[in-house]
């Protein structure tokens, strides 16, 4: 397959004999592990001292604002530690760890 027109022709031909060619159910496209949403892995806020700071998530691969953002005041920024930020979103921990 070298071009989009060739792919279109292939799909048209195969659909004549296989009506469900290249048709998938959502469960077939993602594993059961990814299908279940773990709300605890993506908390809505980060507790800091006696306050709670909101976490804002954006899915924009390749863009600067992809990921999680926390907006803090100068007062709150002084109380944040690198460790607190590293552990703020449990879902990202797997990417930060390597298993030997």
- Give the tens place of pLDDT for each residue, 34-62: 556 677 888 998 888 888 889 998 888 88
Same domain, 29 and 49: no
**pTM over the 0.85 mark:** no
Burial class (CB in 10 A: 0-12, 13-18, 19+), 83: exposed
Same domain, 47 and 67: yes
Same domain, 28 and 47: no
pLDDT category at 14 given cuts 50, 70, 90 is very high
Q: In the chain, how many domains are there?
A: 2
Distance in angstroms (rounded) separating the CA atoms of residues 28 and 70: 35
Give me the domain span that covers residue 81: 38-100
**CA 78 → CA 60, 83, 85, 88, distances in Å?**
29, 13, 13, 16
Higher pLDDT, 98 or 42: 42
Same domain, 29 and 54: no
Same domain, 30 and 69: no
Same domain, 66 and 28: no
pLDDT at 13: 92
Average pLDDT score, the chain: 82
């Amino acid at each position: 397959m070298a071009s989009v027109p060739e792919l279109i022709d292939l799909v048209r031909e195969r659909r004549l004999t296989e009506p469900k060619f290249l048709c998938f159910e959502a469960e077939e496209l993602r594993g059961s592990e990814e299908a279940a949403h773990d709300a605890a892995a993506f908390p809505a806020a980060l507790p800091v001292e006696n306050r709670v700071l909101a976490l804002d998530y954006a899915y924009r691969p390749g863009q600067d604002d992809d990921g999680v953002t926390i907006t803090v005041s100068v007062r709150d920024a002084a109380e944040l530690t690198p460790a607190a930020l590293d552990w703020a979103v449990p879902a990202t921990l797997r990417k930060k760890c390597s298993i030997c």
